[in-house]
Structure 1
């Protein structure tokens, strides 16, 4: 397009450009050859055409520089048609000078990939109540609560414990290989689960293989979001974390429906096929923005010296107690319902009700926390967990309506743990160390998940099958 045609296209832009051109000419033109009155209004009119440019000896190269100067930026803000400018407006930065896109197609595709990965990995973790209740009445019925509790305690333990090494590797090398390895293990877990008949089979497949697979997906999926969001990190992490809740809703319902129709083996393989599709999406979409680091000792090995920071140590201790009690209702709510005369069908479905409440509890508090503060919101939701355990679950008994209300409220209140706890940790470190801090914290937290379920099972045995001790333990946590 010719210069005259472009200048005449918009009279308002033309006028602005004329003023900017005169200002830049006054600064760049040689003083001994500068035309008289250049910085003032010309007697015969403003500088407005290519002929005027040539008359004053201004080259086309200088003209091009004029078009891309700060005057051009001013024109773009006036017209409002610059996509680049819109992108810059969306970016934010932290105190360390790191910039974050805070949105855009690439960032939200990472959130979707994390959502899919957590759907498969944490969805199965949130279904442990269904697996535990079924195994206690079928394949492992000769074992007590405490013995079966160790299988699922190991499952939850490795989901978090392995992050102590996975986190630094993620910081150094990115999430691709980690998510792929975890995806393979999750699919292998669900395919081989149907062949298990003995206690050690289930410990190896669910406890070890499932725990490792979930950890390899969980840590990178959560940490990668922190590379793309800063101010909106809470809501973005919350949206991704809802994948685990959706899995916790759908998987128990699928299993409850398919167990009597096609049996345990094929029911778990159907879930495995769903997981295969989800983890493929995670492998394709979860990525990092930061450059890779060399595989040195400093970059890939855990560093427990960060616990010298009081804020980090206290935050980790708080999350430990949350997780110590969190998995107790998830693991025992179905068996609790069965023990109090609720139908077998609804006893399996009650876990889906709890995870439905968790769906909203992972998203809404994350949205609110970006405004009110992540620590403030997490403290409020944990307090709500305490209240509904003491005031609803403890006196529920065989009252199905009270049990349903409890599951909804507790699911909502406890759901914020997955979405907000990682964001609280991210406030204590630089983004390039996020994976290390997050994984190191959850390594300590994992011992709570390892012991919480078996301790609850031991309490249940000592109380002769009465659940008041289990509820009291969860409330104290």
Structure 2
């Protein structure tokens, strides 16, 4: 049964004809069935990013047979179709209908999946690159210095979205995906021949970071053009590609490097990127009409919305700590003396296996229980596993000196990698839909890009800070573990604050 929401209602809230799930009440479900004319919802207090956004929703649009949206000619204005005759769902606040499925919609999800497999798979494998490069080509550099290569990569992957998001809103994804594929593929092939520090910094850090941003920003944003009710589930499926890449790529490199050497192992990875990029290029597309005359310059006035500001702060703290375990879990395992070389490289694959499950399964639950509700729960899980599993593990084995504890160290490390991977994967897949719940789909690219512009500074500094803490504690990892715990605790407070501002302290509200 299709779902509908009146124009002017709060972005992200969905009126559903289905009964509440296990007694949990939707924000708007209590008023979704009435025989009286609907009351006019109060318009948002925040002005649109540009004048065109104010008039776009006031125009009449129609959905064509192929699922695209075009202006409706006055002669075509007839009596509206009944809800029974439509298989789409109305986007909150803009009057458009959305397929919520079909070959074209799921094709976009598949294209986003392959694009994310390359872009985020590379990002989720930085622990392997860090461990190998820091002990081979750049063994004469300290951990903090080497860490800047990967922090610049993650910084640019998110920071470049400040311009990419608005460009996507106005021009669509095709040229952005093409440019991203070129940068990403060139980066991985150049990486295979790097020997000096500046070469790694430019090829992996700069070129790879820009390429990843050009791929994943439009890939995620395009899903919002086809899904609203099922957006969390669809986004979770697509973002799961990053975890799949994070499982396959480390295992592949670990197997290939001893056989064919570093250079050819990385080149083979590059050929896989070529295939993945071609699939993404063919399938990813947009559907909604562009904003006529829209500016590609971001508008930071959206930070006047306190829930959005708190959400951005929550994502900032979350990403500040996220890449520390991803980057250092392999090096940590090698330092303990309890885990051998081969299994140390496999730990990043174990972490990403948990992340893969975390990106897929909770997406379906979040659409029923509420996106912010699930985010608060999984952030709780992240900081609890960090303080309950990784911190005791790091204290037991600062430098691999306590042979009597090797079994406990190995068990705690494996448990942490799997459980933290699951919880953090859920956070990653829920972030886009939490941001999308605070805006309309046509301004989603701008909101998402603005959020991650701020977040990118956390990713820039997180890894070097962890490296500096490692040096300050004499090679012991407990300092970076405490820092990771603190960042996730702050993220939890921020997301909880955003939820409370929107719906209060009531626990049975789906938000």
Give the TM-score normalised by structure 1.
0.81
3-state SS of paired residue (2:295): helix
3-state SS of paired residue (1:264): helix
Give the TM-score normalised by structure 2.
0.75
Between structure 1 and structure 2, the one with the greater Rg is: 1
Q: Does the 8 Å contact 1:92/1:101 carry over to 2? A: no
Alignment map for 1:147-296 (pairs within 5 Å) = 147-293=145-291, 296=293
Per the TM alignment, residue 311 of structure 1 is displaced from its structure 2 partner at its CA by 1.0
C-alpha RMSD of matched pairs (Å): 1.5
Residue 104 of structure 1 is matched in structure 2 by: 102
Q: Does the 8 Å contact 1:166/1:216 carry over to 2? A: yes
- What CA distance in whole angstroms lies between the structure 2 residues aligned with 1:415 and 1:447? 20
> Is 1:131 aligned with 2:136?
no
What is the aligned residue count?
394
1:121-140 deviation digits (Å, cap 9, x = unpaired): 00000000000000110000
Correspondence for 1:368 among 365, 370, 381: 365
Residue 66 of structure 1 is matched in structure 2 by: none
Structure whose residues are more often helix by fraction: 1
Correspondence for 2:375 among 362, 374, 378: 378
Residue 26 of structure 1 is matched in structure 2 by: none
Deviates more, 1:309-318 or 1:95-104: 95-104
1:430-449 deviation digits (Å, cap 9, x = unpaired): 11110000010000000000
1:408-454 deviation digits (Å, cap 9, x = unpaired): 10000000122111101111111111000001000000000000000
- What CA distance in whole angstroms lies between the structure 2 residues aligned with 1:293 and 1:472? 46
Which blocks of at least 5 consecutive residues in structure 1 are unaligned?
1-68, 78-84
3-state SS of paired residue (1:287): coil
Residue 393 of structure 1 is matched in structure 2 by: 390
- What CA distance in whole angstroms lies between the structure 2 residues aligned with 1:192 and 1:205? 6
Residue 408 of structure 1 is matched in structure 2 by: 418
Which blocks of at least 5 consecutive residues in structure 2 are unaligned?
1-77, 398-405, 488-511
3-state SS of paired residue (1:267): helix
Alignment map for 1:14-163 (pairs within 5 Å) = 85=85, 88-163=86-161
Q: Does the 8 Å contact 2:89/2:228 carry over to 1? A: no
Residue 486 of structure 2 is matched in structure 1 by: 476
> Is 1:338 aligned with 2:334?
yes
- What CA distance in whole angstroms lies between the structure 2 residues aligned with 1:92 and 1:302? 27
Per the TM alignment, residue 89 of structure 1 is displaced from its structure 2 partner at its CA by 3.0
- What CA distance in whole angstroms lies between the structure 2 residues aligned with 1:330 and 1:124? 12
1:159-194 deviation digits (Å, cap 9, x = unpaired): 100000000000000000001000001110111111
> Is 1:323 aligned with 2:333?
no
- What CA distance in whole angstroms lies between the structure 2 residues aligned with 1:400 and 1:273? 35
Task: Give the ranges of 4+ consecutive aligned residues of structure 1 lying more than 6 Å apart after TM superposition.
Answer: none
Per the TM alignment, residue 293 of structure 1 is displaced from its structure 2 partner at its CA by 4.2
Correspondence for 2:461 among 426, 451, 455: 451
Per the TM alignment, residue 343 of structure 1 is displaced from its structure 2 partner at its CA by 0.9
- What CA distance in whole angstroms lies between the structure 2 residues aligned with 1:404 and 1:279? 33
